[in-house]
A and B are shown apart, each in its own frame.
Chain A
Amino acid sequence: MSDTAAPRPASTTRRRVLMAAPLVVAGAAGVGFWRMLSGMTQGSFDPHDIHVPVLDRPVPDFALPDQAPGQGFGAADLRALTRPVLVNFFASWCIPCVAEMPVLNALKDRLPIWGIAYKDKPDNAAGFVRRAGNPYARIAGDLPGLTAIDWGVSGVPESFLIGPGGVIRWHTAAPLGEDTIHDTLLPLAASLTR
């Protein structure tokens, strides 16, 4: 390989540069890892995060049937909005959704919540809402789960804040907590209302 290089000054410099290359590459990788790690501790970088393809875009086209005890809705309804609405994907078979219900019930008077029952049999979803207390102004059923795919839903519960005109403004793939609601969601909703 480079063993055959003759000891001329020019080639010595080239050798030096060549031998320093691994260090430079490793250094660059190291800086990258350091930024990832510091991003992970600050919460700005999450390799497990799924980026929602529809963020800051109008909601994808869909029209879903009614899910008792609410009235179904579609993309047209969301695009006709003048005030922000929270769209919440839930399912009766999802344990974190049960835990999220009291939080949603506390939130519903400050921000309207529309629910979408994800891959859930209508009877089960209706029973779930009846037992947990209904936080939803409207409920639609997405039994095949196809709408959820368009929205980039990775699991339930997942919530999307829809601004006026039906634009997705914010998203979380985790159950909503008091902190998130007061620190992020409500201020954002208030700024969209103006």
Chain B
Amino acid sequence: MSPELGNFALALACCLAGAQAVLPLIGAQRRDPRLMAMAPALAVGQLLALLTSFACLVNAAIGDDFSVQNVAANSAVAKPLLYKITGVWGNHEGSILLWALILGVCGGAVALFGRNLPSALRARVIAVLGGVSAGFLLFCLTTSNPFDRVWPAPLDGQGMNPLLQDPGLAFHPPILYTGYVGFAVPFAFAIAALIEGRVDAAWGRWVRPWAVAAWCFLTCGIALGSWWSYYVLGWGGYWFWDPVENASLIPWLTGTALVHSAIVVEKREALKIWTVLLAIGTFSFSLSGTFLVRSGILNSVHAFANDPARGVFILGLLALVIGGSLLLFAIRAPALTAGGMFAPVSREGLLVLNNILLCSICAVVLTGTMYPPFMSLLFGKTISVGKPFFDATAAPLAIPLLAFMGFGPMMPWKRAQFWPVLRRLWWAGLLTAAAFALAAWRIRDILPLLAATFAVWVIAGSAADIAERIRLFRLPLGQSLHRARLLPRAALGAALAHAGVGVSVLGLAAMSQAAHKIVEVRVGQTEMLAGDAWTLTDVHSAPGPNYTSLIATIEVRHDGRLVTVLHPSKRTFASQNQTTTEVAIHTNLLSDLYGVLGDRHGTDADPTYVLRLHYNPLAPWMWLGGLVMAMGGALSLSDRRMRVGAPRRARLAGLVAAR
């Protein structure tokens, strides 16, 4: 019964979304307050219907209702409860429903938190969200309905891919999707602004919190995904430039650019057209990423059940959403009025530079990702683009980005000079020079060396920014602390987020010096790696709940002193006939000792084991930095100005017209 209820709720949500897409738009055009007032009600209604639907699917999964095809294909009685719940979004149909649910939450959030918006703008924003939602719900209902029944119902389900039975992966998709889908709100604001034909400072202020919130989630999602591939896949790597990873990185890059260019719109009313385009582009890339991953066009380790027929539907949807919005942009954007002027050397100028560099990196990643399928289509050649290409192209663009990031926040608006700003950063420069000397001693390659140096520069610059603002050491400490309390949280958040970038880049640079070794050893044998002695002392097998594992014991000693004992293991799942490796990681936050148990060779009397040993310096910093970035974003979201006191638009608009 409950799957039918879920199906009905899904269909109801689709109908409500359709109404939400049309009625408020007509209302806003005719200035009909009753039709405009329907927007929030419809958005909340759609959200409730989607919540019901999702709850029904979770209920079916928990209750082992194998008459539901999706549950039968992805769950099993023996699966732990946590994974029965999280397994709901571990497959194509369920993840599309989750996607639609998050989009519904976005619509509901605009309805609830957007009370200070002008009613026409709010109606249009909610209508655009409703339109996107209606498309995806239609996709869900027609081509990938999670409530499809199977008859006769099997006694037990087929179970889940053992690789996915992991807490990290369980919570990764909701966070990542919230990031992807969250950019639908800035997108809807951009479309609403294009329909109205007006972008002003107030618009910039309204759109920024949504962009920052989505950005925080996307940052967390990417960091979590990278961390997952690091400790689950057991390849010792953290980022493989896989198309699926790139599909999340591309909107992150344009989203980061959006977060920055929206500041210029808010403060200076410049870069308006560009910001609108970034808002459209970021969501378009999020959507395309979803599409490309699921259509099977891109070769990836993340194998969703690829279905080209499904891809055709999504492609049509994308053509409508992206093509439609870009068409609107092409028609309306040329009419948007020009805003404030600024000198090339100024805060705005540096933010423009930030946008150019971020978008260049984005273009490079996009090229590298799309080159293989287009080569194959146009010239029938199979090629693959991998790490060497991305390292050689993205890194040289990232280094100037870091260099400017270090002092960008200290530049005055409108017109500035480099020298006075840099002079105030003398101690940060000194620190950076020291970091360069220290890094040059350990790192031989030029790109990681520069990256590490400028990462220190960014962290020092962020600290200097805050120190300058509270006049640390120039006023008595008490007064400085008082100033720190009065400091806008947005400034603190920005500094924290920048420092987070620095921390991540330090981790990335240090990881270029990671050492690893693949060895075949007998029990009792010792191998040296990065100054540590790794001894395989024991290998034994042990039964698990639905697998048997082979567990190795590796003792790591440094100068004869026991550092840690690692227990990497290998699990064999009989039901899926699959083996997974369980990596053993010992971290002291400065480096990871990472051991993987590989195949068993030799005879039964004299077995040998393949071990992969990694020494990963500063590895945890990469993800820690991501967390710090997201915390910075969250801190700036908590700024009072983001929530209240948005300027009344009429007065401002009058000022702009008078200019």
Contact = CB atoms under 8 A, between A and B. Distances in A.
A26 B273 contact: no
Contacts, number: 95
Given A4-B338, A47-B296, A26 B284 contact: yes
B339 interface: yes
B89 interface: no
B323 A22 contact: no
B271 A1 contact: yes
Interface string B363-402: 0000000101110110011100000000000000000000
Nearest to A33: B315
B334 interface: yes
Contacts of A20: 330
A39 interface: yes
B298 A47 contact: yes
B319 interface: yes
Nearest to B383: A51
B295 A37 contact: yes
Interface in B210-233: none
A19 B372 CA distance: 28
Interface string A1-42: 111110000001001100110110011011011111111110
B439 to A, nearest CB: 36
A19 B323 contact: no
B352 interface: yes
Contact of B372 (A27, A40, A47): A47
Given A26-B322, A37-B312, A39-B377, A5 B329 contact: no
A48 interface: yes
Nearest to B292: A33
A49 interface: yes
Contacts of B329: 19, 22-23
B277 interface: yes
B90 interface: no
B308 interface: yes
Given A3-B271, A37-B308, A51-B381, A27 B297 contact: no
Contacts of B376: 45, 47
A33 B330 contact: no
A50 interface: yes
Nearest to A34: B315
Contacts of A4: 338, 341
Contacts of A36: 297, 373, 377
A37 B295 CA distance: 8
B277 to A, nearest CB: 6
Interface in A81-128: none
Contacts of B372: 47
A3 B330 CA distance: 16
Contacts of A32: 374, 377
Contacts of A2: 273-274
Contacts of A22: 277, 280-281, 326, 329-330
A1 B352 contact: yes
B270 interface: yes
Interface string A35-63: 11111110001011111000000000000
B319 A30 contact: yes
B309 interface: yes
Given A26-B326, A32-B374, A3 B339 contact: yes
A57 to B, nearest CB: 15
B315 to A, nearest CB: 6
A45 B341 CA distance: 51
A170 to B, nearest CB: 16
Contact of A27 (B274, B284, B291, B323): B323
Nearest to B382: A51
B149 to A, nearest CB: 27
A50 B382 contact: yes
A94 to B, nearest CB: 15
A172 to B, nearest CB: 16
Contacts of A50: 382
A23 B271 contact: no
Contacts of B311: 37, 40
A15 B334 contact: yes
B201 to A, nearest CB: 14
B299 A47 contact: yes
A29 B284 CA distance: 12
Interface in B330-358: 330, 333-334, 338-341, 352
Contacts of A37: 295, 297, 308, 311-312, 315
Contacts of B477: none
Contacts of B291: 33
A19 B334 contact: yes
B490 to A, nearest CB: 24
B586 to A, nearest CB: 36
Contacts of A30: 315, 318-319, 322-323
Contact of B380 (A5, A15, A35, A51): A51
B271 to A, nearest CB: 6
Given A22-B277, A26-B284, A49 B382 contact: yes
B380 A3 contact: no
A27 to B, nearest CB: 7
A37 B291 CA distance: 11
A78 B220 CA distance: 58
Nearest to A13: B334
B155 interface: no
Q: Which of A1, A29, A35, A51 has the most CB of B within 10 A?
A: A1
Given A23-B326, A34-B315, A50-B382, 6 more contacts: A3-B270, A4-B341, A22-B277, A29-B370, A33-B315, A36-B297
23 contacts: A3-B270, A3-B272, A3-B273, A4-B341, A16-B330, A19-B333, A22-B326, A26-B284, A26-B326, A27-B323, A29-B370, A30-B319, A30-B322, A33-B292, A33-B297, A33-B315, A35-B377, A36-B297, A36-B377, A37-B295, A39-B377, A40-B295, A47-B376
Top-8 shortest CB links A-B: A23-B326, A20-B330, A40-B308, A3-B338, A15-B334, A19-B333, A51-B382, A41-B308
